A = this chain, B = another copy of it.
Amino acid sequence: MASKTKRAPKAAATTAIKLPQVDVKTLGLIVDLADEVASAAEKRRDPHLEIPTRSLSNVRFNKSRKIIEMGGQTNRRQLFNLSQAKSYMQTLLVATGCKQLIEQQKTTSIRGLYYLLKHTIEGTREETFATQEECDPIIEDLEVTLESLREELHVYASNRGGMVGPITLIDSGDEIDCSRMGSGGYSIPSIVEADIVKFKSCDAKFILHVEKDTVWRRFNEDKFWRKHNCLQTHGGGQPPRGVRRMLYRLHNELKLPVYCLLDNDPWGYYIYSVLKQGSINLAYESKRMAIPEAKFLGIRSRDYDRCKLSQSVQITLNDTDIKRAKQIAAYPWFAEKKGWQKEIETMLKNGFKLEVESLISKDISYVTDVYTPERLEERDWLD
């Protein structure tokens, strides 16, 4: 059995490695967490953790900062409480695993962390975790408790998303010229903190972020970024944290405006909403990921008429679409914006949604030759 005692000496032996600043800080937070437990035990008090509540009721839209933030609600998780003891111990176990990863200067996936920590508790038949689904929310609990991004805990989400354009960066010591990365572009890693990815030089004037790699590829093939001197990014659908964090850093450190080209459907609206204001589930990360100044270029509901699109490209809205559209229209950050209310109303009135790819029906390069340049030229976007 892979017991913790077997791994402990290895972890200890590697602490001699000089840790990056960000890791020293995270490690400190984990140690503080453990100290609280120890000190409670010494004082003969019930050890407990205060876990910030991750639910809609504990999320609010900060109107001045224009991002979604977490409120102050917490749930107490106690060791000496039959219904909480297991999750209490799981939380400390996940913290131990992350500590080990940081000390060893290694990273792993959420799947990897699950395997790292899964074992039968000695002398029992009890598993630390029955399934990965039991482990994942505990990782999120630890993130909010320590106010540390998952990536800072050395656990990464999936590696999706690409970038091309006139920027040179240093990724893990390698110098990467994103204008010379071939047809696939630079694959945006899931951890893009400044310790790992450094910006060396950049000539781009803005970022064009598109939803899908297939659309991104059209732009790349047509060398849009060269003609318009921009960075082109995609997130493979809803962008993973690495992509969001990369956009945030590019926007804030290099002062690049972000324009989004997404589908004309509730899912496209939602992607924009998350990029701009943050997501409800990951509200604690908004302040390091949300880009309130991001603009929505399209495609817009009125583009069907304006671009004289063929009837064949319509995709009829289903009940879920209609429900989601109404929910999104009611989001506090959209509710007061006339432009957005009109946009969503028009889609509902149209009765259909449109994918960015539908512009291909005009011409294969209509989106790069006509649509996007016109919108940018006329500063025609939603905020």
Contacts and interface: CB of A to CB of B under 8 A. Distances in A.
Given A120-B311, A360-B108, A185 B187 contact: yes
Contact of A109 (B196, B217, B362): B217
Contact of A187 (B1, B108, B184): B184
Interface stretch (A34-42, A52-60, A135-143, A172-180): A172-180
A345 interface: no
A192 to B, nearest CB: 9
Given A213-B159, A363-B7, A119 B310 contact: yes
Interface stretch (A21-29, A110-118, A322-330): A110-118
A17 interface: no
A198 to B, nearest CB: 11
A29 to B, nearest CB: 21
Contacts of A7: 363
A187 B162 contact: yes
A35 to B, nearest CB: 25
A188 B109 CA distance: 21
A106 B221 contact: yes
Contacts of A362: 2
A112 B218 contact: yes
Given A108-B360, A174-B181, 16 more contacts: A1-B310, A10-B363, A111-B357, A115-B313, A115-B360, A118-B312, A118-B361, A159-B217, A171-B181, A172-B183, A174-B180, A175-B180, A181-B187, A183-B189, A184-B188, A187-B187
